[in-house]
Copies of this chain bind each other. A is one copy, B any other.
Amino acid sequence: MSEHQYRNGHLVIIGGGEDRKHDMEILKRFVELAGGTEANIVVITAASTIADEMWSIYDEAFGTLGVTRRSHLMIESRQDANSEAFVRQVDDATGIFMTGGDQKRLLALIGGSALDAAMHVALKVRGVTIGGTSAGASAMSGHMLATGRVELHPEKGSVSLGAGLGFLHRVVVDQHFSERQRLSRLLSVVAQNPYLQGIGIDEDTALVVDIGVGIEVLGQGAVTIVDGRTMITNVADIKDRDTPELIDVRLHLLPAGSSYQLPTGATEPGKGLPPPLLDFLENVTKRNPLS
C-alpha cells in the first residue's frame, strides 16, 4: 500500500466525566467520527478493575446513540491482548474507545501487544477514530503520566512517567484537570521534562485531533497547554521535593468551542490559528510512523 492510500484517523481525548446520559455531546461526536449508526465500535475496558460495569455504561450510551455494532474487548491478560480474535475485532472496528481506570494497568495489559499494533494500523492506515477518557486519555501519549502527587506547588520528583500507547508524541496528557487542580502536577512534569508539552483536559471536555488537519475542543470545560521549552529553571540543581524556579513557561487556555487548523499552503494562514499555537498544532496533528 503506498503512502497516499493511508487514511488518517481522529483521536478523541476526553478528560473524564463525559456526559453519558443526556446530550452526550462528546460521545456523539466520537460516534459520528466513527461512522455514525454504521459505526463498529469496540470498547477496551482494560484500564479498569470493574470492566463489566464499564462496558455496561458505554454499551448503553453507544446504544442510545444508535450504534448497533458495538462490542466489549474483555482483556484480562496479555494473552488476551495478543489473541487473534481480539486483533480481528480491532481490525474490523471503525471506532475504538478506551474507558477510565488506571493507565498503568491498561499499558501493562496491552502495551506492545498485537492489539496495540492493530490500533496503530487502525488509526494511521484505516482512518479509524480512537477515543479515550480519563486513564484512556492519559494512555494515548508516548510518554504517559503514570503516577504523581498533587501538591500545592510543582515539586521535583513528584511525578513519574511511563510508556504510553504513543498515538501522540512530545506531549503528556493529564485529565480531570481543573476539577482536581492538577496544574502544579503538570508543571512538575514539564519542569523536569521540557521536551514534553503538557496537555490538561477538564472533565466532560475533549480535545479532538484530526490527524494532518487540526484540533477542536468540545464539551463543558477547557484544555490547558503548558509549554516549558523556552523556560529557564533551576530544577537540575535542587533537591527532591523542592519547588523549582520556573521562568517563562508558556500557558495556553483553549475553551470548548475553540478549533484550529494547520496552514494549508505557504500563503494560507491556518484558520483562526494564533502563531504561538502552530508548534503545538503541528506536533499533535502529526502523522507518526506506524511503530
Contact = CB atoms under 8 A, between A and B. Distances in A.
A245 interface: yes
Given A183-B183, A232-B274, A274-B232, A221 B152 contact: yes
A183 to B, nearest CB: 7
Contacts of A251: 226, 246, 248-251
A157 B250 CA distance: 24
B253 A244 contact: yes
Contact of A253 (B154, B179, B255, B274): B154
Contacts of A57: none
A245 B259 CA distance: 11
Interface of A: 152-154, 178-179, 181, 183-184, 187, 202, 221-222, 226, 232, 242-256, 258, 274-277
A153 B221 contact: yes
Contact of A242 (B183, B245, B255, B275): B255
Given A178-B153, A276-B232, A255 B250 contact: no
A181 B179 CA distance: 11
A253 B245 contact: yes
Contact of A245 (B232, B247, B249, B255): B255
Given A153-B221, A250-B248, A255 B243 contact: yes
Nearest to A228: B251
A240 to B, nearest CB: 14
A170 B154 CA distance: 27
Contacts of A274: 232, 247-248
21 contacts: A153-B221, A153-B253, A153-B255, A181-B181, A222-B243, A242-B255, A243-B253, A244-B255, A245-B253, A245-B254, A245-B258, A246-B251, A247-B252, A247-B274, A247-B277, A248-B250, A248-B251, A248-B252, A248-B276, A249-B253, A251-B251
